[in-house]
Amino acid sequence: MLSVPDIVRRLDLASGTIEGCPTTERRLSDLRGVFADSDAYESALQQQDPLIYRVSTIQEGTGQGELHCGLGVLMPGRVGSEYFMTKGHLHSWRPAAEFYIGLKGRGIMLLETDVGNDSVWCNLLPESLVHVPGNTAHRTVNIGDEPLVYIGIYPSDAGHDYSTLTARNFRLVVVAGSHGPKVIRRTDFPAHRLP
Ligand code: F6R
Ligand code: ZN
């Protein structure tokens, strides 16, 4: 049966919630191992455990051809010189691609092949759309002063694999430089100094 209340959902872009949908919150304490600067991470966590991001999902549809969707709100802030970011993941069903649509704020997406041998970054901005191909790990980074709000749309059978990236992390790191955000290789991170 087609039913309009099930078809149309209200998005609350301020809180990052989709009406009537489950929401997951990630605090700083949920992101151990994500930031390259583990000393800065531990000392930030001793001060407080702020909300880093919230994702509200539509995931009722199952079966071939169905889609799922997540509305993400990633807070502004830094741990040491690194901007707040999501955990990042691969899709468990590796061929599953995803579209990200920027709604508010200024972000960067880190994309990396599933085997970790190639990495790129791109902007995630309002009125722009990022195609995350299949077999590609993805992470979102807020480089602005306001919450970064975006939507991701992906196949219902994509699934989320966090453990592969927990083990190896992304090769690229986004840091505040003296001339604004810059993307460096993780292997170069120890040489990086706060502006
Ligand atoms: C879904 C997707 C997004 C993320 C969201 C939070 O496939 O890519 O909705 O789930 O940006 O990031 P993670 O899931 O890495 O904590
Ligand atoms: Zn995804």
pLDDT at 192: 55
Q: How far is the CA of 182 from the centre of ligand 1 (A)?
A: 22
Q: Pocket of ligand 1, candidates 28, 74, 89: which has the most ligand atoms within 8 Å of its Cβ, to mutate?
A: 89
How many domains is the chain partitioned into structurally? 1
Ligand 1: residues with CB < 6 A are: 55, 70, 72, 86-89, 98, 138, 140, 152, 154, 158, 160
Residue 123: both structure tokens together: 């902007």
pLDDT at 1: 82
Q: Are 45 and 35 in contact (CB under 8 A)?
A: no
pLDDT at 193: 53
Question: pTM of the prediction?
Answer: 0.96
How many residues are given for the chain?
195
Where are the extended beta strands (E) located within 22-94?
23-27, 51-58, 67-74, 78-79, 82-83, 90-91
pLDDT at 6: 79
Q: Pocket of ligand 1, candidates 140, 156, 161, 163: which has the most ligand atoms within 8 Å of its Cβ, to mutate?
A: 140
pLDDT at 3: 84
Q: How far is the CA of 88 from the centre of ligand 1 (A)?
A: 7
Q: Which domain holds residue 146?
A: 4-192
Q: How far is the CA of 42 from the centre of ligand 2 (A)?
A: 27
- How far is residue 26's CA from residue 19's CA, in Å, rounded to a whole number? 19
Ligand 1 atom closest to 160 (CA): 7
Ligand 1 atom closest to 150 (CA): 11
Helix (H) or strand (E) holding 95: none
Residues contacting residue 95 through CB under 8 Å, at least 6 positions apart = 134, 135
pLDDT at 4: 86
Q: What is the pLDDT along the chain (195 residues), one digit of tens a residue?
A: 888 887 899 999 999 899 999 999 999 999 999 999 999 999 999 999 999 999 999 998 898 999 999 999 999 999 999 999 999 999 999 999 999 999 999 999 999 999 999 999 999 999 999 999 999 999 999 999 999 999 999 999 999 999 999 999 999 999 999 999 999 999 998 765 554
Residue 110: both structure tokens together: 């880190």
Q: How far is the CA of 179 from the centre of ligand 2 (A)?
A: 30
pLDDT at 184: 96
Edge-first strand order for the sheet with 172-177 is 78-79, 82-83, 172-177, 180-185
CATH of the domain at 142: 2.60.120.10
**Alpha carbon nearest to ligand 1 atom 6, residue:** 86
